[in-house]
C-alpha cells in the first residue's frame, strides 16, 4: 500500500524522490523454473548499501506476471521502507498493464515507470493520450512518464517522442502523473530543458543518463536520477549525486573524468546494448554483477553477451577505478546465490 493517496502523488514525489534509482533484474534458479528469492534479496540489500533511494523491478525479460509480482513482493519485504520499489509497466497490451500495475500496487510498489507495448502503434497524439490516461486512471500509484526513442513515436508523432502539448494535457488530466523521465528527442537535451522549464514546478524531472546528469546538475537543479543501470558504477552514482546536490562541483567534475574510460567502453557497445530498440538486460545484469550483484541466468529468449563485450566492460571499469569483480566470467552465468 502506497504511503499517499492518488491526489497526493505529486507532493509525495516532490518530497520523497530525491536521489538515484537503480534497476534490479529478476534472478532465477539454475534450471530456470522459478525465481531465485535469495538472489533477489541479495540484490535488494546491495542496492540499499550502495545508497540508492529506490530500484526498478525490471519486467522486460522472460517472466510471467505472477512471478513478477512475487519478485516485487520479495524486494518490498526485504527493503521495507528503506527502498522505493518501482513497477515497470512494460507488458504486452493495455489490459495486461492494468492488471500488472494493480498487482504491483498490492505488492508494495510506490512508483510506476510507464512504457508502451511493442505492438502499440499510435497514429496521433490522441492515441497516446487515450492509452496513458486509461492506464493512469486504473491505478492510485504515482506515474513517471517516459519520453524516449524506444517507442518509435519520433518519426510519426513528434521528434521529442512525447510533445510538450501532449504532456501538458496529461498532467492536467491525470493527478497521479508525478514525474517525467526526460530522455525525449535524444541525443539532444532540449526535451529535458523543455520539461524542466514547463513542468518542473508541478512534477519531478528525472535525468537518468549519468553522462548528462553530472554536467547538467552543475547548471540546473536536478533532484532525481531514475531509472538507469546505475548499478554498473556500484555506489558511485549516489555518492556523486550527493556532491552535486551539495554544489561540490569540482569534486563531482573530478569524478566525472575518472569515470570516463568506463563510460566510453559502454558507449562503444551501444549497438549491442540497445539493438533492435530493445535493451540488452543480459548485459545490464553483467554490469551489475561486476559490482557484486547476483548475476545469474536469464530465460530464453534473451539477448546475449559474449566474452568480448564482458571483457571490454570490465576493462573500462578497471580503468575508471571501479574495482570490478575479477571472478571468472563463467561465474556470471551461475550467479552469486545459486539455487
- In contact, 273 and 283? CB cutoff 8 Å: yes
Provide the pLDDT for residue 278: 83
Provide the pLDDT for residue 28: 98
Provide the pLDDT for residue 209: 96
Give the end-to-end CA distance of the chain in Å, rounded to a whole number: 30
Task: Kindly report whether the peptide bond that precedes residue 227 is cis, defined as omega within 30 degrees of 0.
Answer: yes
- Below-50 pLDDT ranges, the chain: none
- pTM surpassing 0.95? yes
Find, among 193, 211, 206, 191, the residue nearest to 84 by Cα.
206
Cα–Cα distance, 292 to 336 (Å, whole number): 8
Cα–Cα distance, 143 to 176 (Å, whole number): 6
Cα–Cα distance, 38 to 74 (Å, whole number): 9
CB atoms within 10 A of CB 62: 14
Task: List pLDDT tens digits, range 20-68.
Answer: 999 999 999 999 999 999 999 999 999 999 999 999 999 999 999 999 9
CB atoms within 10 A of CB 168: 13
Distances (CA, A) of 95 to 17, 205, 335: 28, 28, 34
Cα–Cα distance, 320 to 310 (Å, whole number): 15
CB atoms within 10 A of CB 5: 12
Sign (positive/negative) of CA torsion 22, 165, 137, 117?
Answer: negative
Sign (positive/negative) of CA torsion 224, 230, 234, 240?
Answer: negative
Structural domains in the chain, sorted by start: 6-257 (3.20.20.70)
Sign (positive/negative) of CA torsion 237, 58, 336, 330?
Answer: negative
The residue behind cell 523491478 is: 57
Strands (E), 11-151: 19-24, 54-57, 84-89, 111-114, 142-145
Task: List pLDDT tens digits, range 120-132.
Answer: 999 999 999 999 9
- Helical (H) or strand (E) element with 204: strand 204-206
Provide the pLDDT for residue 155: 87
Amino acid at each position: 500500500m502506497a504511503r499517499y493517496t492518488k491526489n497526493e502523488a505529486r507532493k509525495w514525489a516532490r518530497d520523497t524522490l530525491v536521489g538515484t534509482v537503480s534497476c534490479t533484474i529478476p534472478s532465477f534458479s539454475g534450471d530456470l523454473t522459478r525465481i531465485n528469492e535469495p538472489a533477489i534479496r541479495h540484490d535488494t540489500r546491495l542496492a540499499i548499501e550502495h545508497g540508492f533511494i529506490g530500484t526498478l523491478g525490471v519486467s522486460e525479460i522472460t517472466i510471467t506476471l505472477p512471478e513478477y509480482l512475487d519478485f516485487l513482493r520479495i524486494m518490498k519485504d526485504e527493503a521495507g521502507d528503506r527502498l522505493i520499489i518501482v513497477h515497470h509497466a512494460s507488458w504486452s497490451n493495455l489490459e495486461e498493464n492494468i492488471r500488472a500495475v494493480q498487482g504491483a500496487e498490492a505488492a508494495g510498489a510506490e512508483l510506476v515507470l510507464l512504457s508502451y507495448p511493442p505492438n502499440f502503434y499510435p497514429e496521433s497524439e490522441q492515441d497516446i493520450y487515450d492509452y496513458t490516461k486509461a492506464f493512469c486512471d486504473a491505478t492510485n500509484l504515482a506515474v513517471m512518464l517516459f519520453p524516449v526513442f524506444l517507442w518509435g513515436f519520433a518519426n510519426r508523432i513528434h521528434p521529442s517522442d512525447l510533445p510538450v502539448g501532449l504532456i501538458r494535457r496529461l498532467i492536467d488530466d491525470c493527478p497521479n502523473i508525478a514525474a517525467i523521465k526526460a530522455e525525449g528527442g535524444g541525443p539532444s537535451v532540449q526535451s529535458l530543458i523543455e520539461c524542466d522549464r514547463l513542468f518542473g514546478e508541478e512534477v519531478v524531472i528525472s535525468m537518468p543518463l549519468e553522462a548528462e546528469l553530472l554536467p547538467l546538475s552543475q547548471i540546473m537543479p536536478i533532484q532525481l536520477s531514475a531509472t538507469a543501470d546505475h548499478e554498473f558504477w556500484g555506489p558511485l552514482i549516489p555518492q556523486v549525486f550527493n556532491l552535486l546536490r551539495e554544489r561540490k562541483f569540482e569534486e563531482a567534475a573530478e569524478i566525472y573524468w575518472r569515470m570516463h574510460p568506463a563510460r566510453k567502453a559502454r558507449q562503444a557497445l551501444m549497438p549491442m546494448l540497445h539493438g533492435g530498440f530493445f535493451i540488452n538486460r543480459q548485459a545490464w545484469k553483467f554490469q551489475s554483477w561486476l559490482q557484486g550483484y547476483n548475476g545469474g541466468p536469464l530465460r530464453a529468449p534473451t539477448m546475449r553477451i559474449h566474452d568480448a563485450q564482458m571483457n571490454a566492460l570490465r576493462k573500462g571499469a578497471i580503468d575508471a577505478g571501479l574495482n570490478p569483480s575479477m571472478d571468472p566470467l563463467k561465474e556470471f552465468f551461475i550467479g552469486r546465490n545459486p539455487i
